[in-house]
Amino acid sequence: MKIWQASNGELRRVLEGHVFDVNCCRFFPSGLVVLSGGMDAQLKIWSAEDASCVVTFKGHKGGILDTAIVDRGRNVVSGSRDGTARLWDCGRSACLGVLADCGSSINGVAVGAADNSINLGAPEQMPSEREVGTEAKMLLLAREDKKLQCLGLQSRQPVFLFIGSDAFNCCTFLSGFLLLAGTQDGNIYQLDVRSPGAPVQVIHRSGAPVLSLLSFRDGFIASQGDGSCFIVQQDLDYVTELTGADCDPVYKVATWEKQIYTCCRDGLVRRYQLSDL
């Protein structure tokens, strides 16, 4: 992994230690620490200041495909090809539990604060005192077996299970009850956790896999396997295309203030500067 100075593209740090592909990485809220997951089934925490690996979590039996950070980052969640989602204690580098074991690859995970009207259920056992910030949170799992699963993060109790048109690749929360999930055949499902039986809407712009979804202002950003990347605002009335990737898949989108970053199979990280839309 490489840490770049965003303003000028200068390489600041190289984080080395994973074997095989690194599938996902993100900063902790502090901006000084990085969480990464790889095909070596390891989850690692790094110092962005000196590039050292401070913690390695082991326990997954397959590659880690996505992660989520709970609150300020005392706990993190990982989703893996082994079909499990796990909760980890960063301070003790220990697994606090298997949140879900669904027998199908977990391609994407998201954690969000739940609206008061949503019943998350009660935990069967008292949560460990090492669990910090898991109460009143939902965990969303985008699964390879065409299922989108939502459960209470602390309770581990099911909230809903939605069956889509194809494998789910990614998911994100828009609010305390609205969420998005993208499939391999190009559908973006918007669901309301309070009535998840039927989607609020299904957005389909092309048949290419939806690879990344990110809440943004009053809408969202999506990227697909055909190189398309777009911002949707005000319920599809206003769509902004982010061009440049040609036909190579855009794997991931990230934002910082008015800037959007994309990473593409062509080996480039692109930065878009937004005017006041």
Alpha carbon distance 119, 63 (integer Å): 32
- pLDDT exceeds 90 at position 276: no
Q: Which domains does the chain have, with CATH numbers?
A: 61-204 (2.130.10.10)
Contact in structure between 106 and 149 (CB atoms under 8 Å): no
Contact in structure between 153 and 85 (CB atoms under 8 Å): no
Report the pLDDT averaged over residues 199-206. 96
Cross-strand bridge partners of residue 113? 137
Alpha carbon distance 191, 189 (integer Å): 6
Using pLDDT thresholds of 50, 70 and 90, give the confidence band for residue 218.
Answer: confident
- pLDDT exceeds 90 at position 135: yes
Contact in structure between 56 and 46 (CB atoms under 8 Å): no
Average pLDDT, the chain: 95
The pLDDT value recorded for residue 213 is 98
What predicted TM-score, i.e. pTM, was given to this entire model? 0.95
Using pLDDT thresholds of 50, 70 and 90, give the confidence band for residue 275.
Answer: confident
